[in-house]
Each structure stands twice: as structure tokens, then as C-alpha cells.
Structure 1
Amino acid sequence: MNIRIIDNNINIFKYSYDDITSKVVEIKTKLSGRLCIALSLILAIIITFGVGAIITQYNISQDDGYTDGHTTILKVPELLDSLQIAKADGVVVAIHGWVHEDYSNLTHAEATKNLHNAVNTFNKAGLNTAIFVAPYQVSNVSEPSNVIEDVANAGLTIPFDGAILYEYTWEWRNMTHDTDLRYIEAVKKIEEDNPHIIMVHSQDWNVHTKLFLNNYLAKTKNRNILVRMDDIDANTKPEVIQDMAALRKYSSVGEVVLAVIPAMPLVKNDINIDLYIFHVSVNRIMQAYLLFFLVFGTFPLVFFVIWKLITSRFKRESDKQLLKTEIKYPDLLTIIVPAYNEQKSIGRCIESLLNQDYKGAKEIIVVNDGSTDRTAVIASQYPITLLDLKQNVGKASALNEGIKIAKGDIILFSDGDSNMCIDAVSSIMRCFSAHPDADIVTGQVLINKPEKFSFINCCQKIEYHIEQEIVRYLQSLTDEIVVCPGPITAVKRHVCDQIQYTNDTILEDADFSASARESKFMIKLDQYAKIYTNAPETIKQWYKQRTRWWYGNLQVWRIHKKWAITNPWMIYSYLSFVMSLCSLIMILVMPYFLIQYGNIYGFMIKGLICFSILMLINSAMISIFLRHNKMLMLMVVPYMIIYPILKVFVLSYFYVLYITGIGLNIKHGRRHIKAK
């Protein structure tokens, strides 16, 4: 069925029913895609930061006695035992602030936080209480209304607010004998006052304070006297608590109250350590670590995976139309394969091209880039065109030489170490037919099975799956393909007439792709066109390859910055270098923070738990796309533990060389290149 659409100039365009259906599906997919991005973003935020909140709450609930850079009474089991026994015997245990702070000088947020910490610590200690004794309480003076409100909001009461307090033993901590004039005067004064509330500070408790109180309480005729001890903290000896609890034996005593300070600065070598660096608590710094790795490590992956899963349904509809498309064969297809010292793989590469199920006319050009092995000899044995360059000119120049003699309307580039699936060429031509306005079509690159098992090879396989099935898939949804990989990229002739491969960077395919994007050429991804390539099998080979890839990407960023800063995927790629350097710095300074934290073992346990949870989330996200490969699924966890750290060090190194202008000396083929 054909529909004829006539415009005002009586020009006639013919659209087939399938073309219109394809366009409708494409528009529907794009509209749905925008909604999917928003939904994916929301879900990723909820999941990622929900997990972060759970981890933070877990660390609080599993508090090892260190909170906000302070040690708490939870770290002193002997003191806790004595307080619990005293409470069970009827002694009132009260909260005496968090670190004995003046609540009248705190903001609402600060007061709320400190009260929360105090109540939380008391509950963990089994000292649940609703009583609050204000630090710095002034006798016969009520607390400000804001303090009363903050305390009430925390579920606490201030029963002694505005009470008349009598203290006779202040600064008795240095008293050495009961003949001290202060002792004698205190005996006279307490008998004159007949107090109903007697206050004593834990610091002043000694044999003389104990004797003074016991003597008075034993002989006084007063009843219902309230005896209160303030400033009990982690340094208070259990015997002091026991002595205070024993005062209940006197008939004159109505109630004994112990006002406990839950937290205090850590003590190391008898020196109080201020756990603040540049006025920021170490605990906050550690929380910043968690937030950093959540935002830049887990969140992007969760977002991408959700986006991929949500859009898969719409993509399947689009793919159905693609697979129904009839291939429109060009007059001639040219396949160009540059090769340098590829004697082990060039034969397999050529055979995979000759055995394609593609029915159209094609020519294969192998450009031998000055190889010193048998590459040219092997290639010459096949029915292809061999362009034998006697000198090694580099891949970019070799490709340009191949383009010069290419006769095809469409040129397909491949690599000598790669082998295409039998239907790859047909699939690419079908994609061109389905998208007549496409100038470039690229496929998926996967890794050949190695000759022998190696961890680095498995890591690369997982990395390729992530790159192909998630990142490049998502780029294709928004027509934002950033790199057209050298092993499988097809371009229309007019693209090569306008853009050439250059030696401006050490990553010619990324540079070519960026130039194409700047020239507004449309790039499509055909996920059904697959090619397998050889991957490095040793760390040394891997590093050499990544030198080209990653440092080359930085060069592409510099040369095409005007375009790159407008492309979200290029920004994301560049930020990976920045974040890697930040991660490395954070890793290197972590030992210093651990030492300052004061509890290395406790922190390492918490850190291990946090790291494990994030690692498992990331592993689960990746495993979704490896479910058909059990071997790779088994390697996901080791991959997540080791490979990102390796990448952080290498990316950071390259980025430092880039931003400092030092650059890299690279041996590429027989050429030595100074990459800036």
C-alpha cells in the first residue's frame, strides 16, 4: 500500500505503509523515552539513597560506642553495669545533655541532634529514661522556653527546672583532709539550710564528700531529700555509682538521681583528641566517603540499568520494525581492514568477511600497515584487494589510504584482530535501509574466547558487556552515540568525503566519531551487528591498550571541547577521570582519618559492611546482563572488588599527566608518539 502526499508545489513523495509505521513507532519510542528517563532517575534516587539511609541507620544502630567523634558510655561496660544495677534498685538515671553543652546557646537543629544522640545512646545502654537534667542549670532559675520545647520534642521532661539547688562540695576534688576549712563550713551551712535537694558533682566525689553526705543524711530529721549527682561520664568509676546508690538506705532520702553525660571526647594517651579536621568532624568526613561512592559509583549504574530495563519493551517494538525491513543493497559495499602485525588473526578476520550472508556486491581491502610479520603474505592468499604499505604510517593514515581506493557507496571499517558474526554486514545494511537518514551505523564489539583463562580477560568481558548492553544501548536511544568503534563501523561515502581520519589523537575512531557528530551526521547503533575482537591477556597488554583508549579520550575532549561540553555522555566520560582522581586522593588520605577516628578496627568493620553492600548492589545490577554466561556471573564479585581500583589508579595517572601538560610517550606500531 502506498500513500501519496502532495504539497503546495505539486511535488509528490511516496511513503510505504511500513515506512509510516516505522516512523510512528520511532516517535512513540522517543516520547516514551523521555518519560522513561525521568522515571528511571526518580527510581534510581529512591533506591540508591534509600540504601544509603539504611546503611547509615545500620551504623547508628550498631554503634560501637563512638558517635560524632566522641566516645560514649557504651564503651565502659563496668560503668554501664553499675548504672543498670542502680536503676534496677530504684535510682533515677537522667540524661545530662550529650557532651554537657549549654542548650540555651544551641540552635534548634543542634539541640535536636544532640538530644537524639543522647536518647539513642541511653536506649542502647538499657538506661531508658524520660528525665533530662540541663547542664549548667542555675538554682531557682527556669530554662529558656526554647530549651524546654526542644527537650519536650525529644520525649523528655525537666522535673528539676527552676528548683532551688544546694551544693556544698564544689571543688572538693582536691580536698585531702576533713579538717579542711571548706569541710567545716559546709557542715555548718547544710545544718542551717535543711536542703530538700542536695547536688554534688562526680568530679568532687572522694572519701571526704562521701563522709560529709553520709553523716548528714544519717542524722538529719528531714525527709524526702533528693540527692543528685551531676557530670557522670565515661571516666566516672563504678564505685562512685555504688556509693550514690547506697544513700537510699537512709530514711531521710526520698530519691537519688544520677545525671549522666553520655558522650565525651576520645581519650588517647591521657590527652583529649579533638576529632575535627578543618572544623569538620571525622565522622562527617567518613559519611562523605559513603555519599561520594553512592553518588559517583552506585547511582549512575543503578540509573542506567533501570533506564535500560524500562525502555527494553519500547525498544523491542522498534526492533520488530527493523527486522522486518527489506535490505536495500548499495551498488557496492567496501570493507576496509587495516592491519599491523596481525599474522595470528588476519586469516580468521578475512574468512569471517568472505563468509558473510550478505547478498549484495562487496569488495574487501586489507591495508597492510608496514607489518614486520607474515600479515601481508597471509592476506594475499585470499580473494581480496591488498594494499601493502611498506612503512608503518599508523592506523589513521592506513584507513585514509584504503578510503582513497575504495569504490563502494558505503564503507565498512573493521580491524585485523576481529571477526564478524556471519550476519553482521546484512544487519548493518538493514539498519541503513530502516533509517535512510542515517550517515553512520555502528555495531556491538564483544571479546573472543582467549587461548587460556586470565582474570584480566574476564574483567574485560564484563566491562564490554556493560559498555555495549547498557551504555551504548542508552546512547542509541537518544541518538547520542559517542564513539563508533574501529572494528565495526559503516559510513556512507559522503561522510568520508568530508571527514578524514587524523593523527591528532592516539584514538582515531573516537576522534573521527566526534568530528562526525560536530558535522551533524546521524549515527545509529545496530545491536544485532556483532563482531568479536581479541582482548589483552596480560596486565601489560591491557595497560598499553588503555593508554590509547583513555588518554586518547582526553585528547578528543580537548580537541572537540566545544561540542563535548554539550554532550552529556562526553561530560560523563570526562567526569570519570575527575572522579577517579578524587577517589584516589580519598583512598590515600583514608589511613590518616582512620587514625584520627580512634577506633580503627570498629571503623574498618563498618567500612567493610558499607563497601560490601554497595558492591553487592553493583554486582546484582551487572549480573542482570550476564545471566546467560555463568562463568562471567561467577567473576562479577571479584571484578567489582579489584577492577575498579585498578582503573582508578590508571585513570588518575593519565588525568594528572593530561592536566599538567606532561603528556605520554607511546610506542604505537613502529612509531614513537608524544601524546599531549
Structure 2
Amino acid sequence: MRIAILIPVSPFEPLETVSKSVERLKKLDLKGFEVKIVYVVDKKNPNDERVDFLKKAGVDVLVRNSNRGKRAGAINDGIEFLKDFNPKYLVIFDVDSNPSVDFVKNCVYALENDEKAYLASTRRYVYNPINLPSKTVWLEYHLINFLLKRTKFKQFNGLIGVVRFDLISKYRLNEEAVAEDADFATRMHCLGYRALLVEGKLFEQAPMSWKDIFNQRCRWYYGGLQLWRYFKDVLKTKNWGFITSWISSLTLTYVVSLFLPLLPLGLPYMIHKIGFKEASKGFVGLLIHVTVLQTASIYSIVKFLIGKRVEWKPVERFEQIS
């Protein structure tokens, strides 16, 4: 079976992060597959050392001299690049993704046994909980994992997972969408497909500053507002589990401050799991986190209403932890 692994690399990603990405991919269990690994690199200068490194690492490199469509554009160009190879499945990772060794095999097995699934992925975890902002996102991911198991609208950030190549090749990513992953997920669900949560783990970096979290969530919130264009298509599915989950994700997350009174209820659980000292820090972090998210939500709504897009801004990386 042919599979392709695609990793978009923005101009802002440091060489150290790219190097660790290659290192991690080499650990994957890919026995039984014919594999092509492609890094789509948006060049940061004419002598981009990341391109030279990747070529020496023995992977395919698609170099883009512009960042048209940003991440969505890079993935679409990668899909075009892979047409001759014609894989059955496309594995999409971010450059900071650290998947468990069985990630690909588990996802492929799940898709082979469910013809109505367009994507399979696993729970997400943070591998750099080194300060209060990143530790708070670490706590948030535990909630997200809890909800992923129960929601009928499974939206895996970045489409990180294994996707049917024929579907993503046909429908492509919307390069005008700020949240191209949620846009594609919505369109696939409207067509009657679903996403699968399978066994395995995927670790990724959390933003390490409140500023980076604010900028990241502004983009997510703005992208969510753009999804309302599909409201009629969502209703036409008559899949009320999906409809309810979709609407909830595009409403409740925008009024996150309403859940502030519930935070103390989670304190005993956090104390039980991580101890009183860390739980106390986590509780303070969650209070700040909710404030940051609510501010980002309001900011994005205002930007959307006045017709101005939010700016994409790079997130600081931390590479000491493997």
C-alpha cells in the first residue's frame, strides 16, 4: 500500500525544529508500506539551510518561493506534487508533531475498516509544559481529549492525521479560509463522511507565552466565524448529532468566560492528579487562560464584523525537550 507523509514548513520554522521532525519520522513503524516523505518548504531566503538539510536527509523537498495560501497552499501544492505517486492515504504532520510509533498503522487500519471515514487521528498531548502558559495548555488538552471522544464533529487541529488521498485531492483545502482544517472538516461532514479517533498518541508543542496563545486563538476564532457560511449545508445533513456538535463548537467556545464559575469544581481532580502545588499554579493559569481566550474571541468577532482579517503570526519554538 502506498502512503505519503506531508509536512508543511513555514518560513519561520528554525532548522532545529525541522531536524527533530526528520528524527521523529524515522521512528515510525512503516513496515508494509511504500512510503514517500515530502517536506513542503516556504523559503525564508535564497540560501535556505533547511532545504539543504532536508535534501541530505533523504526526503523529498518541494520548495515554494512564496507562501501563497500559507499552510493550506503548501498542502495543496504537496498534493499536486504527489499525484504521480498516487498514494492511497496522505499522512499530514506539522513540523513539531511527535507521533507515537504506531500512529500511522493504527490510523490506516481504522480507515481500511470504515469506508465513510475521511480521516483518522489520535489524542493530542503537549510535550513542552515548561512554564505557566504551556502547562495551562497541557491541562486544556486533557479537556479537549475528553470532548473528542464524545463529539460527533471531530475536528483535529491542522488535519494532523491520516486522510484518504482521493478525497483531499478532489476537494483540496480552502486557501481563503483562516482555519483551513476546520473548513475541510466541515465540508467532509456535510458530504456524509466522518473522522475517527483511534488509539495512539501525538505530542506537539504548546505556545509558551500568553501573547502567542492570544495570537493563535484569534486565528482559530476568526476561522470559526468563517464556517457559518456552511450553516445551510450542515442543516441539510439532518444528522442532529453532528449539527448539535458543530453549532456548539461555534458558539460555546466564544463565551468561554461563562464557564469561569465551574473552574473551582476541577481543582480537587487536579490536586489528585498533579499535587496541590502544581494544581494551584494550574488553577491560576486557567483563570488567565480563560481571560486570554475571551479577549481573543471578542477581538476576532470585531475584526470579522468590520471585514478585516486577523494576521498570522509565528509561534516561538522550544526544542530542548524531545
Normalising to structure 1: TM-score of the pair?
0.41
Contact 1:580 1:649 (8 Å CA) reproduced: no
Question: What residue ranges of structure 2 are gaps of 5+ in the alignment?
Answer: 315-322
* 2:47 matches 1:400: no
The CA deviation at 1:437 is 4.1
RCO higher in structure (CA 8 A, sep ≥6):
2
Tell whether the 8 Å contact from 1:445 to 1:488 is kept in structure 2 after alignment: no
The 1:562/1:500 distance shift into structure 2, 3 A limit, reads same
Change (3 A) 1:662 1:472: same
Asked if the contact 1:481/1:525 (under 8 Å) is kept, the reply is no
1:530 corresponding residue in structure 2: 201
Match of 2:3 in 1: 333
| Matching residue within 252, 273, 285 for 1:627 | 273
Counterpart AA for 1:334 = A
Tell me, yes or no, if the aligned pair for 1:345 and 1:418 is still in contact at 8 Å. Answer: no
Which residue does 1:371 correspond to in 2?
44
In the alignment, which residue of structure 1 is the partner of 2:224?
553
Is the aligned partner of 1:460 residue 2:132? no
SS in 2 for 1:486: helix
Q: Deviations over 1:341-364 (max 9, x none)?
A: 322311111221122122122111
Contact kept in structure 1, 2:102 and 2:200, CA below 8 Å: yes
Shift in CA distance, 333/647, structure 1 to aligned 2, threshold 3 Å: same
Shift of 1:487: 6.1
What CA distance in whole angstroms lies between the structure 1 residues aligned with 2:103 and 2:274?
Answer: 21
Indicate the SS of the match to 1:560: helix
- Counterpart of 1:350? 22
Residues 57-82 of structure 1: per-residue CA shift (max 9 Å, x gap): xxxxxxxxxxxxxxxxxxxxxxxxxx
Long gaps (5+) in structure 1: 1-330, 585-609, 670-676
1:441 to 100, 120, 144: 120
Q: Secondary structure at the match of 2:56?
A: coil
Match of 1:418 among 90, 93, 97: 97
Deviations 1:322-376 (A, max 9, x none): xxxxxxxxx2111111111322311111221122122122111110023345332
Judged with a 3 Å threshold, the aligned counterparts in structure 2 of structure 1 residues 412 and 529 are, in CA distance, closer, same or farther, namely same
Which residue, out of 487, 499, 509, partners 2:171? 499
| Residues 249-270 of structure 1: CA deviation (Å, up to 9, x unaligned) | xxxxxxxxxxxxxxxxxxxxxx
Q: CA offset at residue 634 of structure 1?
A: 4.7
3-state secondary structure, aligned to 1:525: strand
Contact 1:365 1:402 in 2 (8 A): yes
Quick one: distance in 1 between partners of 2:278 and 2:142?
10
1:472 counterpart residue number:
148
Deviations 1:5-43 (A, max 9, x none): xxxxxxxxxxxxxxxxxxxxxxxxxxxxxxxxxxxxxxx
Q: Could you tell me how far apart the structure 2 residues matched to 1:553 and 1:620 are?
A: 33
TM (norm. structure 2) is 0.83
Q: 1:432 to 1:574 in 2, by over 3 A?
A: closer
| In structure 2, distance between residues paired with 1:423 and 1:631 | 35
SS in 1 for 2:148: helix
C-alpha separation between the residues in 2 aligned to 1:446 and 1:631?
A: 22
Superposition deviation, residue 491 in structure 1: 1.2
CA drift at 1:472: 0.7
2: CA distance, partners of 1:620 / 1:499: 46
SS of the residue 1:627 aligns to: helix
Q: 1:497 to 1:647 in 2, by over 3 A?
A: closer
- 1:374 maps to a residue whose letter is E
Indicate conservation of the 8 Å contact 2:221/2:296, yes or no.
no
Cα distance change, pair 332–577 in 1 and its aligned pair in 2 (3 A): closer
Distance change in 2, residues 1:652/1:564 (3 Å): farther
**What's the CA shift string for 1:527-574, capped at 9, x where partnerless?**
x23222122111222222112212111112x22222446611221122
User: CA contact under 8 A between 2:42 and 2:63: conserved in structure 1?
Assistant: yes
Instruction: Read off the aligned partner of 1:409 and give its amino acid letter.
Output: K
- Moved beyond 6 Å, runs of 4+: 628-631
Q: 1:512 to 1:656 in 2, by over 3 A?
A: same
Query: Is the Cα–Cα contact under 8 Å of residues 337 and 413 in structure 1 kept in the other structure?
Result: yes
CA 1:663/1:633 → structure 2, altered by over 3 Å: closer, same or farther? Answer: same
Specify whether residues 577 and 615 from structure 1 end up closer, same or farther in structure 2 by C-alpha distance, changes over 3 A only: closer
Equivalent position amino acid for 2:133 in 1: I
Describe the superposition over 1:100-120 as per-residue Cα deviations: whole angstroms up to 9, x where unpaired: xxxxxxxxxxxxxxxxxxxxx
Q: Distance in 2 between matches of 1:630 and 1:481?
A: 35
| Residues 176-325 of structure 1: pairs in structure 2 closer than 5 A | none
Matched, 1:430 2:109: yes
Tell me the number of residue pairs that the alignment of Structure 1 and Structure 2 aligns. Answer: 299
Correspondent of 2:299 among 648, 653, 658: 653
Structure 1 residue 637: deviation in Å? 2.1
